[in-house]
């Protein structure tokens, strides 16, 4: 059974954060918002915006919030920490293999928005 695009977008997002922070660095990972950014009534969206939060470490007093843009066509996940002030946007490319574990690799396209 194939997974829906929304589930794959969530899994890719979590895989990126786990590769950065480790398994314990993604404590209480939760999805706050999940929106398709393209698609049609006939075809499921291949691009998603995901707002999530999690405790970055065991000693964290409050969860950190992030906005991720996921492109399932090419496996790109762009993340931005939602904090006061500007934070750099980081882009990651995830190897897309059906039903296999994902291994994100950072690309050198950091920018600020």
- Name the residue ranges covered by the structural domains of the chain: 5-112
Contact between 88 and 66 (Cβ < 8 Å): no
- Say how far residue 31 (Cα) sits from the centre of its chain: 10
Least confident range of 11-20, 47-56, 63-72, 89-98: 89-98
As a whole-number percent, the residues of the chain with pLDDT over 70 amount to 79
Does the pLDDT value for residue 6 go beyond 60? yes
CB 36 within 8 A of CB 11: no
Give the pLDDT band (50/70/90) at residue 113. Answer: very low
Which range has the worst mean pLDDT, 42-51, 70-79, 90-99?
A: 90-99
């Amino acid at each position: 059974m194939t997974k829906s695009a929304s589930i794959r977008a969530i899994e890719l997002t979590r895989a990126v954060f786990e590769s950065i922070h480790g398994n314990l660095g993604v404590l209480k990972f939760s999805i706050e918002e999940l929106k398709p950014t393209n698609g049609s009534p006939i075809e499921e969206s291949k691009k998603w915006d995901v707002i999530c939060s999690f405790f970055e470490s065991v000693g964290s007093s409050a969860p950190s919030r992030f906005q991720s843009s996921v492109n399932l066509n090419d496996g790109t996940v762009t993340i931005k920490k939602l904090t006061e002030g500007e934070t750099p946007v980081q882009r990651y490319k995830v190897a897309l293999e059906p039903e296999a574990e994902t291994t994100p690799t950072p690309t050198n396209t950091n920018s600020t928005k």
